[in-house]
Structures are given as C-alpha cells and as structure tokens.
Amino acid sequence: PAIEYGLEAPFAVEYHETLASTNDRARELAGSGETDVVVVADEQTGGRGRLERVWDAPAGGVWLSILCRPEIPPARAPLYTLAAAVATARAAREAGVDAAIKWPNDVIVPGDGGDYRKLAGILTEMEGETDRVAWLVVGIGVNANLEAADLPEGATSICDEAGVVGRRRFVQRVLETFDEYRSNLDAVIPAWRDLAATPGQRVRIEVAGTELVGRAVDVDGHGALTVATDEGERTVTTGDCEHLRP
Ligand code: BTN
C-alpha cells in the first residue's frame, strides 16, 4: 500500500515499498485523471528502461516517476526529460559525485580516456495529440545506495563513488530542481549544456536501426544532437549514444 514518504516536495508523493514499475503506476494514475504526483518505490520488480530494455531496480536505489500535464506540444516534451537529467545530475553532484550527462539523458560518471559509467537513466512516456500533451510520465532511476555486486556492467552508484546518500533528501532535491525548470523551460538547454559530457566526444549513435559515427557538436533548442560525420553534419532527435575512445 502507498504510505507517506514525508517530503516537502512540490508534488504529492505516493510511496511504495515494492512496485512492478513506478512508470506503470504513474500511467495508471494518469488514467484516473491525476496530475503532479510522484510515485516512489524502494524496489521495482519489473523496472523498464529505454528501448524496451529491462531496468534492474533492487532495494537501495532511487526509483521514481513524475506525472504531470504540461501545456506544451509533444515536440517540447524532450525538454522535460533533459530537465530531469539536469535535476538528477545536480543532486548527484551535491552528494559528492562527479556526475555529468550523456546525451540525451543518461547521468554518468566520466572516467579516463573517454570511459564512463552509468549512474542514472530516465524513461519518459506520454500521451497526447499533435498540438498538446495530455500527460507526461518522467521516470528516473538512480543507482543510489547500490553495492557494486548489485550493479549491472558498466554502471556505478552514488555510494560507490561518494558514500551512502540520504535518499529522501536526494529525491527532494531532484523534485525541487525539476519543478524549477518545468516552469522555466527556456533555461533547460543552457543548464543541460553546462552538465553535458557529450559535445566534443566521438560518438556512435544507433538510431532507427542505422548507425551514425562522428563527433558530437552541440544540442539545439529542442534537445536534438548535431553530429559531424564524414558525410557532413547530421541532427538526431533520439537514439542510443555511446561515447567512443578518442
Ligand atoms: C534507461 O536509461 O534506459 C532509463 C531507465 C529508467 C528507469 C526508471 S526507474 C523508475 C522508472 N520506472 C521504470 O520502470 N523505469 C523508470
């Protein structure tokens, strides 16, 4: 059952010890007309990642989904995802982690020689017409207090990087920053750029079954990435991006 989480947050918080997926629960709430609710779970048994992937979500992480109904066209929805990445990276930095953002919305800890490990991921889902979003669910998964043994390959956690983090405080900071940016969408891209590790990197991007290799140049006002390839500049709006060794 949902119990109090005890947060001073700009959202109503619904906390569960265990859920299949906080995104699924937030979608259910969207179906019953709710808005500005955050679903938090200690553990997920059916966590979902981007591109239909499974997302491991054992106890100790921060697994949450924000449900809102912004008055924006779907084309601006990526700004919400980027705002969530900014909020998560900032909260991780406050917790002492050298966090950065890999386009479009993975929070990573950069290592030597182009290496990086993933700290958090974001899965945004929405429904709406061409001119207007009906609801938006921004799911944020953070490997907060997960021990190395509980982490998938290529991942890291806050406790591995900087010691155990107070999860309630962490969630509160994420929600505060997300709330700040959703009412100031024009500030999202500049904030994203300040934290972005991707521009300047050699990247491989898988988009709709094809592969693009080149140097990431910058992101535009919608969050799309420009990549300089041998065939000229290409702009990608979504995809799976990997930083390559220089
Ligand atoms: C990714 O990097 O592939 C995105 C991962 C998103 C995981 C979070 S955990 C909370 C929310 N509920 C889910 O089932 N997924 C998201």
> How confident is the model over 121-161, as pLDDT tens digits?
999 999 999 899 999 999 999 999 999 999 999 999 999 99
Instruction: Look at residue 10 in the predicted model and tell me its pLDDT.
Output: 84
> Tens digits of per-residue pLDDT, 115-131?
999 999 999 999 999 89
Q: How far is the CA of 246 from the centre of ligand 1 (A)?
A: 29
Report the distance separating Cα 173 and Cα 169, nearest Å: 6
Domain at 223, CATH number:
2.30.30.100
Ligand 1, residues 55, 108, 157: which to mutate, most atoms within 8 A of Cβ?
55
Where do we find the tokens 């993975």?
106
Report the distance separating Cα 135 and Cα 124, nearest Å: 11
Q: Do residues 209 and 112 both lie within one domain?
A: no
Report the distance separating Cα 106 and Cα 121, nearest Å: 5
Our CA angle for 213, 218, 221, nearest 5°, is 125
Which atom of ligand 1 has the smallest separation from the CA of 118? Answer: 2
Q: Do residues 156 and 233 both lie within one domain?
A: no
Where do we find the tokens 């997960």?
146
Q: How far is the CA of 131 from the centre of ligand 1 (A)?
A: 26
Which atom of ligand 1 has the smallest separation from the CA of 141? Answer: 9
Q: How far is the CA of 230 from the centre of ligand 1 (A)?
A: 34
* Pocket-forming residues, ligand 1, beta carbon under 6 Å: 21-23, 44, 47-50, 53, 55, 57, 63-65, 106, 121-123, 139-141
Q: What is the pTM of this model?
A: 0.95
Burial of 99 (0-12, 13-18, 19+ CB in 10 A): buried
Tokens of 134: 């009906």
> Tens digits of per-residue pLDDT, 169-192?
999 999 999 999 999 999 999 999
Q: Do residues 73 and 156 both lie within one domain?
A: yes
Contact 83, 180 (CB under 8 A): no
Q: Whose CA is nearest to atom 8 of ligand 1?
A: 141
**pLDDT average, residue stretch 71-85:** 94
Our count of domains for the chain comes to 2
Q: Does residue 7 fall inside a structural domain?
A: no
Ligand 1, residues 22, 37, 45, 48: which to mutate, most atoms within 8 A of Cβ?
48
Q: Do residues 187 and 210 both lie within one domain?
A: no
Q: The complex's ipTM? A: 0.99
List phi, psi (to 5°) of 150: -95, 0
CA distances from 118 to 8, 204, 223 (A): 28, 16, 20
Report the distance separating Cα 152 and Cα 179, nearest Å: 30
Q: Does residue 3 fall inside a structural domain?
A: no
Q: How far is the CA of 55 from the centre of ligand 1 (A)?
A: 6
